[in-house]
Amino acid sequence: MSLDVSLGPDRAAGRPAPRWRRRLWRLVTVVFGLVVAAAVGRALAGQDWSVVAVLVGRRDGVEIGLLLAGALLAATVGPLLGMLSWRAILLELGPPVSRIRLLRVFFVGFLAKYVPGKVPGVVAALKVATANGVTLPRMLVSGTLSTLLVHLTGLTVGLLTGAQVLGGRAVWLALPALPLVVAVCWPAVLGRVSHLVLKLLRRPEPARPVSGRAVRVAVAWQTLSWLVSGLHLWLLAVAMGAAPGRSLPLCVGAFGLATVVGVLAIVVPDGLGVREAVLSGALALVLPVPSAVAVAVASRLVTTVGEVVLGGAALGVVELVHRRSSASDAALPKEMNGAQVDRT
């Protein structure tokens, strides 16, 4: 994994960066990569892998293998759709950015969340963003608005399970749907939110405001992301014996609701325990309590593995493509000069 900040001020001005600076950033890149690798390894080691044996013991080996593979696929595709939501907003806030650079910015930040303390990961992600043509105000606004839409759409998707879990109190879950409707119908409200955030941070505003079309596209992608991601919980529940028809809306809604509630419980790292408690309560409607708890724990394992596989593979491919593209661009002037020499 590379942070590659070669597009800094010196490069942008047509001057190569000093050798000491290039060496320093290579060292920072190596250290950051090692820290992320160690953090990811720690996250995977901290999962309860025993639930896999519990799931395997419930059904035929081939059948359970297909269900687990489907769950892992859903947990991997969901964040990709969420990336498209973030991209829809980011591209509206300034000049065009190439697809490769956008993917580099997204997936460095995607993996940086595993870095202990959060702050070093955030700093690294912002540095990569500015090095790849995304200004700090643009990054802050897109991040703020995307996070807001993630929470609102997640709680709105949670309506699918709210009536079954909360009964008459489920009406409170309709509250997040109201600001979501406001954001879709009157996107200027989000512009005011971003203006307030930048004013508090004393940062200039991005080149362009967010359009209504971008907000609607972002909401659509993020809602689809929640629906696809929630399928992994449904497949795990079916593997444990839940009725497919009844458990589908329950599981899809419960995953969105539980994930957002876990994130909002800021006193608990990554919502650990909070998310599992909400999931277990919802799944207990279609499974025995021990099985519901096993599925909730397995959900954490599957989503973590899915994120690690997605982030690592995607960033590796993006870096390979970027380096080949950079090498081709560097070789092009030499070939042109050679052609000029031959003609003379």
Q: Where are the domains of the chain?
A: 47-97+134-328
User: Which residue pairs from 177-180 have beta carbons closer than 8 angstroms and sit at least 24 positions apart in sequence?
Assistant: 177/152, 179/152, 180/149, 180/152, 180/153, 180/156, 180/219
Among 315, 323, 327, which residue's Cα sits nearest to residue 105? 315
Among 61-65, 141-145, 196-200, whose mean pLDDT is lowest?
Answer: 196-200
Q: CB-based burial of residue 17 (10 Å sphere; 0-12 exposed, 13-18 middle, 19+ buried)?
A: middle
The structure tokens 């397995």 sit at 298
- How high is the pLDDT of residue 314? 82
- Measured CA to CA, the distance from residue 103 to residue 137 in angstroms comes to 18
Q: CB-based burial of residue 278 (10 Å sphere; 0-12 exposed, 13-18 middle, 19+ buried)?
A: buried
Q: In the chain, what's the furthest Cα-to-Cα distance?
A: 85
- How high is the pLDDT of residue 341? 42
- Measured CA to CA, the distance from residue 127 to residue 133 in angstroms comes to 10
- Measured CA to CA, the distance from residue 23 to residue 28 in angstroms comes to 9
Structure tokens at 29: 């890149």
Among 220, 230, 240, 225, which residue's Cα sits nearest to residue 275? 230
Distance of CA 16 to the CA centre of its chain: 33
In degrees and rounded to multiples of 5, residue 183 shows phi and psi of -65, -35
Q: Which residues, including other chains, have CB under 8 Å from residue 85's CB and lie 6 or more apart?
A: 146, 149, 150, 217, 218, 219, 220, 221, 222, 225
Tens digit of each residue's pLDDT (9 = 90 or more) over 98-149:
888 888 888 888 877 777 666 766 777 788 888 888 888 888 888 888 888 9
Where helices occur in 91-187 by DSSP H, the ranges are 99-112, 119-131, 136-157, 159-166, 177-185
What value does the mean pLDDT of the chain take?
A: 77
Calculate helix-pair angle for 119-131, 99-112, nearest 10 degrees: 170
Tens digit of each residue's pLDDT (9 = 90 or more) over 288-343:
888 898 899 889 889 988 888 888 888 788 878 867 776 665 555 554 444 444 34
Read off the pLDDT band of 10 (50, 70, 90). very low
Where helices occur in the chain by DSSP H, the ranges are 9-12, 19-45, 50-56, 61-90, 99-112, 119-131, 136-157, 159-166, 177-185, 188-201, 212-239, 244-264, 274-283, 289-343
